[in-house]
Amino acid sequence: MTTEQFEPEIIAFCCEYCSYAAADLAGSIRMSYPPNIKVILVPCSGRVDPVYLLHALEQGADGVYVTGCMEGDCHFLTGNLKAKKRVAYVRKMLDEIGIEQDRVQMFNIAASDAPEFARVAKMMTEKIRALGPNPMKKNVPSRPAQGISGP
């Protein structure tokens, strides 16, 4: 597959109170955005844990991003600020292990801002397309054994 033909798979964790509504609105007003984006609804961007972002990459997503409310507008007051710090933590970790930081990003999008949702989706798709496929894509492994003792 050449880079020109490469169609990235991008996971977007979208907050129910803002960007998920913006995505919905974009659809309602027939505003197109790349089909590369796979939206996952979360009750708040603060619900997104670093491990979700890493697991998405590990399982072959070419890019992952989190969208939260505008700063100061979080329905749960500070969820978007927590998400921002967690995304920064994962980006730093990716840099340390030799993966392009820009595969993981955070955006703030208001519920009414469908054009911004579409712009971010297009921008992210172009950026990830330029980065090329996630090196993890080759031979995606099965999930490792996991266990927790006790109750």
Do 56 and 38 contact (CB within 8 A), yes or no? Answer: no
| Residue 139 within binding range of other proteins, rule CB under 8 A | yes
Q: Does an H or E element contain 12, and which? A: strand 10-15
| C-alpha span between 139 and 137 (Å, rounded) | 6
| Residue 131 within binding range of other proteins, rule CB under 8 A | no
> Measured from the CB of residue 151, what is the shortest distance to other proteins in angstroms?
9
> Measured from the CB of residue 150, what is the shortest distance to other proteins in angstroms?
4
Do 103 and 57 contact (CB within 8 A), yes or no? Answer: yes
| Residue 51 within binding range of other proteins, rule CB under 8 A | yes
| Residue 130 within binding range of other proteins, rule CB under 8 A | no
CA distances in angstroms from 137 to 54, 56, 92, 140, listed in the order given: 13, 11, 21, 6
Q: By CB under 8 A, which span of 8-16, 37-45, 108-116, 139-147 interacts with other proteins?
A: 139-147
| Residue 135 within binding range of other proteins, rule CB under 8 A | yes
| Token output for 102 | 């820009």
Please report the DSSP string for 91-138 in residue order: HHHHHHTT--GGGEEEEE--TT-HHHHHHHHHHHHHHHHHH-S-GGGT
Query: Which residues in 74-113 contact other proteins (CB under 8 A)?
Result: 93-94, 96-99
> Measured from the CB of residue 139, what is the shortest distance to other proteins in angstroms?
7
| Residue 58 within binding range of other proteins, rule CB under 8 A | yes
Q: Which residues bind other proteins (CB under 8 A)?
A: 49-51, 54-55, 57-58, 93-94, 96-99, 135-136, 138-139, 141, 144-150
